Amino acid sequence: MSHRYDGKIDFDHLEFATLEDDATEQQYADRFKATAPDTFARYLRRRWVVFAVAYFGYVCAYLVRNNFKLQSEQIRLENGWELTQIGIILTAFTLTYGFAKFFMGVLSDRVSLRRIFAGSLGGSALICIAMGYVHNFWLLFALMLVLGTLQGALAPSSMAMIANWYPNRSRGSGIAIWNTSQNLGGAGLPLIISWIAALGGAGSTHLGFLIPGMFVVVLSFVFWRYGGDRPEDEHMPRLNTIYGPYGEPDVDDVPEDGYWTTFYRFVITSPVVLIVALINAILYFLRFGILNWMPAFLGTEMGFEKYQYLTAFSVLEWVAIPGCFFFAWVAIKAPNRQSIVGSIGLIGLAALVWVYMGNHNYVVLLIVSGLMGALIYGPQLIVNIMTLNVVPLKAAGAAVGFVGLFGYIVGEMAANLVMPILAEHLSWTASFFVLFALAILGGVLYLFISRYEKKIVKA
């Protein structure tokens, strides 16, 4: 039986009881339920399936994303390559992923969400499998370019699935929970590769690509079958039909506007989207400025043992998961005050950075690392929520991609260059003072858009 509803109800012309101007979201939902009870029940069941595909699908994205990075040292030694060659291959992914997140986001607004998501995920898995058997530098470089391009479609399309099926009040919490999928996938892949290495021994590097890749290939067919398109494409009601003004962001979108008019007006020329994109760049600078330089700073500069800074790295990633769930709970309680929540989180992160850069105690390091994980990924998921809350849903993919472009091309690449330059020519204190200042700046920028958020997200 098809998972899509093939009924012929004309939702735009259903006759509803009149509600007062101050009617609540629940009253709108109850009105629709009374008018079309079977459709409402079907919509709720379908929404859970769509979320499950978006969440577990993005976990799978990370199972075929970092395989080369995690095994790069073994690959370097097997092929007799220089460290710079590994760096060039890794940069290939960053470049194409950043730009593809934008362009593939635009594409996802124009095509079937489930097909671009499942197709790109399956393609990523096949590229991952191929990489395990390639030992030519330039061919690996080319495969990483393709991998970055395919992976760039996954975040915009999976987030757009959630945005199109969840109303204002629960959209934020849905995106917040979805955000933990990257932590689950990112933390799970090293465990899988470690298990494979323990069982396979020397010469098992290719299995770290093959086994996760085959697993994801199989699941991509499941996601193709059950992934979510926009409700109206599945002959289901739009969110505004069910929830009234509480269904979609109130951004004065005119339905007759063409896609490119909407894209120009609400994405690339929107001051609010540009501020959100700048905040995202700051967050990526903070995230990778801390994570990528933990071995050099904690090991060489601060004198921690290897197992200590690796443990701190792991703690940061794992504590980010309950941290994101905390922010998800806050998103439910304050659905149109996400900017204020993000501001508080970044100011708290600034204080932790100050403690982190002068600390020599291992226990304190673990505590601070865990809290930094929560306050990096927490405000980062607020960026995702804000992005979807300030644009029309038909431009959701493009907005996610545009904001993501700033994160990778501006934020991550700057962190990879600025942090070591400042450390070598001045000191690590100078590098971390930049992180401290950027966290404060990000908190202030969040406050700039708080009034606009309250205006367009009725909750």
Tens of pLDDT, residues 264-273: 766 767 788 8
Helices (H) and strands (E) in the chain, counts: 21, 0
Stretch among 182-186, 227-231, 295-299 having the lowest mean pLDDT: 295-299
pLDDT of 233 above 60: yes
C-alpha span between 383 and 404 (Å, rounded): 10
pLDDT of residue 336: 67
**pLDDT tens across 407-438, in order?**
877 887 777 778 777 877 888 888 889 999 99
Angstrom distances, CA of residue 352 to CA of 275, 283, 309, 315, 366: 24, 14, 17, 15, 12
Mean pLDDT of 105-128: 88
- Asked whether the beta carbons of 386 and 343 are under 8 A apart, the reply is no
Residue 443 has pLDDT above 50, yes or no: yes
Segment 124-129 shows an average pLDDT of 95
Residue that is written with structure tokens 């894209």 in the block: 263
Backbone phi, then psi, for 254, in 5-degree steps?
A: -100, 120
> Per the structure block, which two tokens stand in for 365?
């390091």
Instruction: Return the pLDDT at 111.
Output: 79
State the alpha helices, DSSP H only, in 14-136.
25-35, 37-63, 67-70, 72-79, 83-108, 113-131
Are the C-beta atoms of 101 and 408 separated by less than 8 Å?
yes
pTM check: above 0.85: no
* Cα–Cα separations (whole angstroms), residue 236 to 2, 103, 227, 396: 14, 28, 15, 19
Q: Is pLDDT larger for residue 278 or for residue 330? A: 278
Give the model's confidence band at 260: pLDDT under 50 very low, under 70 low, under 90 confident, else very high. low
| Helix (H/G/I), strand (E/B), else coil: 71 | coil
295-317 mean pLDDT? 73
Distance CA(130)–CA(144), nearest Å, equals: 11
> With pLDDT > 90 as the criterion, what percentage of the chain qualifies?
19
Ordered structural domains, the chain, with CATH: 18-248 (1.20.1250.20), 252-459 (1.20.1250.20)
Distance (Å, rounded) from C-alpha 236 to C-alpha 256? 20
pLDDT at 178: 86
Which pLDDT score is estimated for 2?
45
Q: Identify which has the larger pLDDT, 189 or 367.
A: 367
3-state SS track over 108-173 = HCCCCHHHHHHHHHHHHHHHHHHHCCCCCHHHHHHHHHHHHHHHCCHHHHHHHHHHHHCCHHHHHH
Would the pLDDT of 250 be above 70? no
115 Cβ neighbours under 8 A, 6+ residues apart: 224, 227
Comparing CA positions, the residue from 236, 205, 217 lying closest to residue 40 is 236
447: pLDDT strictly greater than 70: yes
Contact 236, 43 (CB under 8 A): yes
Do the beta carbons of residue 114 and residue 229 sit within 8 Å?
A: yes
pLDDT at 457 over 60: no
Q: What is the mean predicted confidence (pLDDT) over 250-263?
A: 60
On the CB side of 107, CA atoms within 13 Å amount to: 17
Predicted confidence band of residue 276 (pLDDT cuts 50, 70, 90): confident
Is residue 246 a contact partner of residue 26, using CB atoms and an 8 Å limit?
no
